[in-house]
């Protein structure tokens, strides 16, 4: 099947599509040959970039209105008949208001819905904390039987959607709204396997979702200005976490930084820390994320800059951790 993302070396670092546009494009490709692909939306057709999907496949899109609990319950009911259901809603509402439906109707009942959280993290920027989802990794990690994925770039977004359509397990995919550069020509992708985006020898930065780009920029700056090289891992799957890769990384005894567009509580960083400490790794370690507060007002980039989820901020954290 044709890919919609040209993940070649020439395209790296060029801003491409938003991951959501890739999501919509892949779904259209899949739906052309698979009538069992069903999208359920809660007045989120436009924000989910699904207008073209709805035009091409009007019988494969179900609108429930602004009613997230019903969105997830209906999606679970449809999935129970063997269809491949994508339930699409802003991550902030989907994973908070419909949490009980996610827990019971999707995960516990094992109805293989793909929950698509759009405009996640602080993508909505100055719209404020009602629209931010900085809790979703934390609450969803505690729910059994749910794969949690935050693709970093268009390639990972395409692969995640394809795999979600194939798997018979519930999946949560979290998308931002920014156009993303391709970060690597590496063409392997599996749920639960982190992707090594860049190799270095002084420290490792483990990032997820749209923060991976900023980790890459920081790594370039560290090399350019400080002659330090950092490995970069895109830990696109928050659960199940890639413990093998974590062990390999930690075995070097080099410092580790985690970066996420999420509360510093309960997300990627604490998941890594928990594994490392329980397995007797004692690497210097720092979690970069959003502190326990309602964020400063600003665009996604301004919020990132404010909390050090940026080229500048990650560089500074790295230097401090290395004692430079």
Partner 1 sequence: MSEKELAQKSVEYRKKILKYIYQAKAGHTGGSLSCIDILNVLYNHTMQVDASDFTSPDRDRYIQSKGHTVEALYVVLASRGFFPESDLDTLCKYQSHYIGHPTRKVHGVEQNTGALGHGLSLSVGTAIAGKLDKKDYRVFTVLGDGELPEGSNWEAALSASHYKLDNLCAILDKNTLQISGPTADVLNTDPVDKKFEAFGWEVRHVDGHDIKQLQDAFDALPFVKGKPSLIIAHTIKGKGISFMENQLKWHHGVPDPKQYEDAVQELDLYGATLVSA
The reply to whether 65 sits near partner 1 by the rule CB under 8 A is yes
The reply to whether 37 sits near partner 1 by the rule CB under 8 A is no
Among 20, 26, 37, 64, binds partner 1 (CB under 8 A): 64
The reply to whether 75 sits near partner 1 by the rule CB under 8 A is yes
Q: What whole-number distance in Å separates Cα of residue 139 and Cα of residue 151?
A: 19
Which 111-140 residues touch partner 1, going by CB under 8 A? 111
SS3 287: strand
Nearest Cα to 214, choosing from 133, 289, 278? 289
The reply to whether 81 sits near partner 1 by the rule CB under 8 A is yes
The reply to whether 54 sits near partner 1 by the rule CB under 8 A is no
The reply to whether 67 sits near partner 1 by the rule CB under 8 A is yes
Nearest Cα to 169, choosing from 109, 100, 99? 109
**DSSP string for residues in 190-238:** BTTB-EEEE--SSEEEEE-TTHHHHHHHHHHHHHHHH---EEEEE--EE
Cβ-count burial of 312 within 10 angstroms (0-12 exposed, 13-18 middle, 19+ buried)? Answer: middle
Which 277-316 residues touch partner 1, going by CB under 8 A? none
**Between residues 35 and 187, which has the closer beta carbon with respect to partner 1?**
35
Q: Are 40 and 87 in contact (CB under 8 A)?
A: yes
Among 29, 79, 138, 235, binds partner 1 (CB under 8 A): 79
Identify the residue whose tokens are 């795999």.
163
In angstroms, the Cα distances linking 246 to 27, 35, 314 are 32, 39, 20
Among 105, 136, 156, 270, binds partner 1 (CB under 8 A): 105
**Between residues 2 and 59, which has the closer beta carbon with respect to partner 1?**
59
The reply to whether 13 sits near partner 1 by the rule CB under 8 A is no
Q: What whole-number distance in Å separates Cα of residue 205 and Cα of residue 220?
A: 12
Pick left, alpha or beta for residue 192 (phi over 0 → left; psi -120 to 50 → alpha; otherwise beta).
left
**Between residues 77 and 200, which has the closer beta carbon with respect to partner 1?**
77
SS3 256: strand
Whether the CA torsion 130, 131, 135, 136 is positive or negative: it is: positive
- Contacting range for partner 1; rule: CB under 8 A; set: 106-114, 187-195, 216-224, 300-308: 106-114
The reply to whether 83 sits near partner 1 by the rule CB under 8 A is yes
The reply to whether 70 sits near partner 1 by the rule CB under 8 A is yes
The reply to whether 82 sits near partner 1 by the rule CB under 8 A is yes
At 207, give phi and psi (nearest 5°).
Answer: -125, 170
- Nearest distance, CB of residue 31 and partner 1, angstroms: 13
The reply to whether 101 sits near partner 1 by the rule CB under 8 A is yes
The reply to whether 77 sits near partner 1 by the rule CB under 8 A is yes
The reply to whether 33 sits near partner 1 by the rule CB under 8 A is no
Parallel/antiparallel/unpaired status of strands 256-263 and 114-118: unpaired
Among 28, 47, 104, 167, binds partner 1 (CB under 8 A): 104
The reply to whether 69 sits near partner 1 by the rule CB under 8 A is yes
The length of the chain in residues reads 324
**Between residues 111 and 237, which has the closer beta carbon with respect to partner 1?**
111
**Between residues 111 and 119, which has the closer beta carbon with respect to partner 1?**
111
- Contacting range for partner 1; rule: CB under 8 A; set: 74-82, 210-218, 261-269, 310-318: 74-82
Binding site for partner 1 (CB under 8 A): 38, 59-60, 62, 64-65, 67, 69-70, 72-83, 100-101, 104-105, 108-111
């Amino acid at each position: 099947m044709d890919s919609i993302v040209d993940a070649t070396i020439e395209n790296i670092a060029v801003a491409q599509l938003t991951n959501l546009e890739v999501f919509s494009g892949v779904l259209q490709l899949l739906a052309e040959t698979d009538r069992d692909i069903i999208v359920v939306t809660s007045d989120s057709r436009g924000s989910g970039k699904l207008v073209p999907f709805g035009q091409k496949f009007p019988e494969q899109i179900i609108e429930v209105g602004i009613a997230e609990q019903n969105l997830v319950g209906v999606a679970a009911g449809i999935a129970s008949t063997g269809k491949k259901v994508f339930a699409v809603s802003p991550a902030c509402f989907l994973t908070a208001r419909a949490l009980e439906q996610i827990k019971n109707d999707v995960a516990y009942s094992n109805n293989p819905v793909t929950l698509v959280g759009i405009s996640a993290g602080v993508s909505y920027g100055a719209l404020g904390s009602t629209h931010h989802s900085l809790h979703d990794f934390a609450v969803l990690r505690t729910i059994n039987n749910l794969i949690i994925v935050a693709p970093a770039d268009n390639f990972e977004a395409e692969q995640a959607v394809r795999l979600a359509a194939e798997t018979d397990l519930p999946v949560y995919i979290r998308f931002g709204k920014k156009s993303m550069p391709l970060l690597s020509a590496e063409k392997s992708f599996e749920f639960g396997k982190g992707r090594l985006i860049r190799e270095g020898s002084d420290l490792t930065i483990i990032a997820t979702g749209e923060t991976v780009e900023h980790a890459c920029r920081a790594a370039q700056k560290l090399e350019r200005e400080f002659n330090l090289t950092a490995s970069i891992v895109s830990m696109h799957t928050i659960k199940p976490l890639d413990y093998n890769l974590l062990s390999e990384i930690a075995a070097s005894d080099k410092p580790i930084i985690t970066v996420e567009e999420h509360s510093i509580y309960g997300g990627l960083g604490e998941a890594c820390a928990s594994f490392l400490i329980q397995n007797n790794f004692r690497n210097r370690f720092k979690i970069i994320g959003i502190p326990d507060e309602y964020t400063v007002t600003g665009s996604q980039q301004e919020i990132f800059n404010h909390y050090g989820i940026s080229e500048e901020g990650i560089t500074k954290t790295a230097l401090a951790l290395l004692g430079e």
